[in-house]
Chain A
Amino acid sequence: MTIRVNGEEKLLEKEVNILELLTLQEVKMVEMVSVELNGEILDRDDFETTLVKENDAIELLYFMGGGSFGF
């Protein structure tokens, strides 16, 4: 199955859900990653139940934040 992850083509040998895909992408902090599936942001609670399908376009990004608090 061929999908696109962050704009790059990726070949999957078997069916996976989003959580498994994050593992394949070597994402360490799953709880700090946002996932967009075909233009829609996925609820984190749905990562495990959402299966990746042929030609899906998936975007992954880490939460970005910080600041001078606690300097």
Chain B
Amino acid sequence: MHIQIAKEHYNQIVEQAKKEFPLECCGLLAGIQTEEAVSIKRIYPLINIDQSSEHFSMDPKEQFTVIKAMRSEGYRMIGNYHSHPYTPSRPSEEDKRLAYDPHIIYGILSLKDDEPVLNFFRITDNETVEKLECLFI
């Protein structure tokens, strides 16, 4: 299983993260999933209602609206993403604790270093983390 993301979509996440820095940014990922790959087709930025540098929460009302918009465009929600303004691109204990859906992918963009780093993960049982290979196309 690997992730395919267009450079354009990667840039969109980076721009959002930099714009909202030092707060964490967040959003949903729409796309198509097969047995071999998850292909990200569209990025949907959402509001971090926590407005925090070290935590994010999505507003369920906004989530419902976005998920229905995805569906009307022929996609489905395949994951979410958020930024870590000061820490590495891997799930924190809090990320694992709040990862309730083992079927989706979790993207984490780190702005810790000069060059942003984006990785995608699956998180199972709030504990097991699998880093997914990512192809930038």
Contact = CB atoms under 8 A, between A and B. Distances in A.
Interface of A: 6-7, 28-29, 32, 34, 36, 41, 59, 61-71
**Interface residues of A, dominant DSSP:** loop
Given A67-B52, A67-B55, A68-B24, A62 B94 contact: no
Contacts of A65: 50, 55-58, 98
Interface residues of B, number: 36
A71 B93 contact: yes
Interface string B41-84: 00000000010111111101101100110010000000010101
Nearest to B27: A64
A51 to B, nearest CB: 21
A69 B58 contact: no
Most buried by A among B52, B63, B97: B63
B120 to A, nearest CB: 14
Interface of B: 24, 26, 28, 50, 52-58, 60-61, 63-64, 67-68, 71, 80, 82, 84-88, 91-95, 97-101, 106
A61 B60 contact: yes
Nearest to A66: B95
B50 A61 contact: no
14 contacts: A6-B67, A34-B64, A36-B60, A59-B64, A61-B67, A64-B80, A65-B55, A66-B98, A66-B106, A67-B24, A68-B24, A68-B92, A70-B94, A71-B93
